[in-house]
A and B are shown apart, each in its own frame.
Chain A
Amino acid sequence: MNTAVRDLPAPAMFEFDASNWKLAILAGLAISILAALALPASLSFWVIGAMAAMIAAVFAINAYRRKYYGGLLVAPAIAVLFVMNIFPLLWSLGLSFFAYQSNQQTIRFIGLNNYIKVLTNDIAAPANWDALINTGMFVVSTVAAQMIAGFLLAMLFAKQFPLRKYLLILVLTPMMLSVVASGVFFTYYYDPTFGILSYAIGEVTGEQFILMDNKLGAVTGIVFADAWMWSPFVMLLVLAGLVSVPKYLYEAAAIDRVSKWRQFWTITFPYIRGLLMLALLFRTIEAFKLYDLVYILIRGGQDTKTIAYLIAEIANEQNKTSEGAALSYVILFMVIVLTNLYLYLANRRNQGA
């Protein structure tokens, strides 16, 4: 659509032009390095920042003049993400190769030792593997529960009926609560002496019911709370897909006497596949980071520690920042593999369809 517009020639290497990004990078780098060497850290930080802004501005001018709209549109997002997320991410990646504790001043390069330690150390590694297995279990069970519950809820709301608007907001509220508060209230619901659940079961069976006194009960409690909180998320995405299916497709299918089951797979599913994938992707990523509920509900007891819980414990309570970073990069690697698998499967299906 925009083939004929990139006819403005690129500026020569040393031509002083507002769109000459090569020269801008060169000058920016030189000044940044000089500033880092000559000025104190607090000042050079701003100089380097200014240089980065200058290079960004030159790129923007270049993109605008030559109509590279893609780059121009994407640039602000990339810039914000780079400063606030990717840069800290790289920083902690660097940190994982050092021996560093946040309560001490010393820092020492130790190469891959942190990684070797978290994966093979006699004391640390078995705990990590346990936590990893727990995390896997939580990811599978919470995501499955959310997808199923969210999907069923969406099916209920995919029709037009009286009071729909008011009922939908009731279902959406669990997601709006602060995780801190609703988690704390779940400890109350599950409490063996005061809690509603134990009271209700106690009234029926006559015995005191304690949900959290074994691993299965604890996991069920956590999965239930998490699924309750985040099923509306899946529901809203699926609902967005369901209501976008053109009605005439169903009408045509009804004329052809296509079974409901086949209608679902040939008409409905293609329309919600993308959004279902998005929900699956984001819920899986979030499930890998499951920490707050495990902490609030049971403080990691009954062998329910997840990897995120362990990382927080190592990095925050034991101050072993670099070890925590190393462990989290092991996890990041796994999440990347998994999400790539998702995306690969999604794309393959798209091309196949």
Chain B
Amino acid sequence: MANSTSILEWLGFRKASGVTEAGWGHTLLVGIVSFIYFLPVLFIIFTAIKPQDLALSVPPTISPTSLFGLIPDQYVFTPTLENFGSVFSRVMTPGGSPEATGFDRFFFFFIFISSVSVLLALVIGTFAAYGFSRYPLKGNDTYLFIILTTRMLPAIVIVIPVILMFRVTGLSGSYLGITLLYTAFNLAFTIWMMKSFFDELSTDVEDAARIDGSSEAKVFLKICLPQVVAGLAATFVFGLILTWNEFLFALLLSNADTRTVPVAMNQAVSSGGRGTDWTLLASIETLFLIPVFLVTFFLQNHLLRGVTFGTVKR
């Protein structure tokens, strides 16, 4: 397939991707499917802006507006932003005054540690994936498989030795410990994913560059890496989502000051013994959604561009 057409494509003269054009009719179809798929999330977001006493009403209230009379009044509620305030500060003991819950700090540090660990995993993992793909070691597949096995055991089994290890080293309950653990947690996926992207690339351009005297480092940075930007973006988003959702390690390894958001959310919602506080849970979840939603949205162009857009396929 490495003919003159492909080289032109590589230089960006023509689209190589198999995306065909479709009109508004297709938009309507996909819109309906997407909307149905999104409904449970929409309900959570609506619960976040519901008055607290309507959270468990029968019949359930499902919309903040009546959509010009389309939805009967019994299903409509008046939206409020009160619940978001109570995420950060609310009455914790019966009859007491509002207290700060520390959620601002949890949010900030959790965003920080998850981005650091995902980026670290991406850097280390991309190097490793490139190594596995281009300079196969003796027993390459065995190494890759061992890396995969680290994802196979239930977290509860690994977490006990990790707790003991962290206690000895003093990493227990620190952000550093959780960051390192999450880096490792993301590595297996990053390596496998990036390797499959590197494997897809043709080596023709690389070999041409080597013949022209490029160093190995330059081949990697200037030729291979730009071709897998979409892969990097996809892996980053996946890593962020997986980290952002991780619960068990965080529950057992963090202390009161270093809670991650899922743990703090669980704590906030289940404390007090009055059952689930639905509006609080929904508002934390809605706030929790915003950062990863934004990251995904801004990386989307890369996700959609086509993995091997404008590259010479093997």
Do A and B interact? yes
Binds B, one of A20-28, A151-159, A297-305: A151-159
Query: With an 8 A cutoff between CB atoms, is A185 at the interface?
Result: yes
**What mask results when residues 156 to 177 of chain B are scored 1 for a CB within 8 Å of chain A, else 0?**
1111111011001100000000
Query: With an 8 A cutoff between CB atoms, is A181 at the interface?
Result: yes
- Report which of B23, B165, B247, B297 forms a contact with A87, defined as CB distance below 8 A: B165
Query: With an 8 A cutoff between CB atoms, is A124 at the interface?
Result: no
A162 in contact with B183 (CB, 8 Å): no
How far is it, in angstroms, between the C-alpha of A196 and the C-alpha of B56 when the chains are bound?
10
Bin chain B's interface residue count.
35 or more
Most buried by B among A1, A41, A74, A184: A74
Query: With an 8 A cutoff between CB atoms, is B116 at the interface?
Result: no
A249: nearest chain-B partner, CB-CB: B18
**What mask results when residues 302 to 340 of chain A are scored 1 for a CB within 8 Å of chain B, else 0?**
000001100110011000010011001001100110011
Most buried by A among B60, B125, B147, B161: B161
Query: With an 8 A cutoff between CB atoms, is A35 at the interface?
Result: no
How far is it, in angstroms, between the C-alpha of A286 and the C-alpha of B162 when the chains are bound?
20
Query: With an 8 A cutoff between CB atoms, is A10 at the interface?
Result: no
B131: nearest chain-A partner, CB-CB: A73
Task: Give the chain B neighbours of A185 by CB distance below 8 A.
Answer: 40, 43-44, 47, 281-282
Minimum C-beta distance from A318 to chain B (A) = 12
B230 in contact with A160 (CB, 8 Å): no
Supplied contacts A69-B134, A163-B27, A179-B245, 16 more A-B pairs, CB within 8 Å: A68-B135, A70-B135, A70-B136, A81-B147, A85-B188, A91-B164, A92-B157, A153-B37, A170-B34, A176-B293, A194-B56, A228-B37, A244-B309, A274-B200, A332-B153, A340-B145
Residue count of chain A within 8 Å CB distance of chain B: 109
Can you list 22 pairs linking A and B with CB atoms under 8 Å apart? A2-B216, A83-B184, A85-B188, A91-B161, A153-B37, A156-B30, A160-B19, A162-B24, A165-B304, A168-B304, A171-B38, A177-B289, A184-B276, A199-B58, A243-B305, A247-B17, A247-B20, A286-B151, A289-B153, A311-B154, A315-B156, A332-B153
Query: With an 8 A cutoff between CB atoms, is A38 at the interface?
Result: no
B158: nearest chain-A partner, CB-CB: A88
How far is it, in angstroms, between the C-alpha of A87 and the C-alpha of B307 when the chains are bound?
35
Most buried by B among A77, A91, A163, A291: A77
Query: With an 8 A cutoff between CB atoms, is A12 at the interface?
Result: no
A159 in contact with B20 (CB, 8 Å): yes
Between A and B, how many residue pairs show CB distances below 8 Å? Answer: 332
A84 in contact with B41 (CB, 8 Å): no
Query: With an 8 A cutoff between CB atoms, is A351 at the interface?
Result: no
Minimum C-beta distance from A136 to chain B (A) = 15
Interface of chain A, main secondary structure: helix
A275 in contact with B137 (CB, 8 Å): no
Query: With an 8 A cutoff between CB atoms, is B150 at the interface?
Result: yes
B305: nearest chain-A partner, CB-CB: A243
Binding site for B on A (CB under 8 A): 1-2, 41-42, 45, 68-74, 76-78, 80-81, 83-89, 91-92, 95, 102, 153, 156-165, 167-182, 184-186, 188-189, 193-196, 199, 228, 233, 236-237, 239-250, 274-275, 278, 281-282, 285-286, 288-289, 291-292, 307-308, 311-312, 315-316, 321, 324-325, 328, 331-332, 335-336, 339-340, 343
How far is it, in angstroms, between the C-alpha of A339 and the C-alpha of B237 when the chains are bound?
25
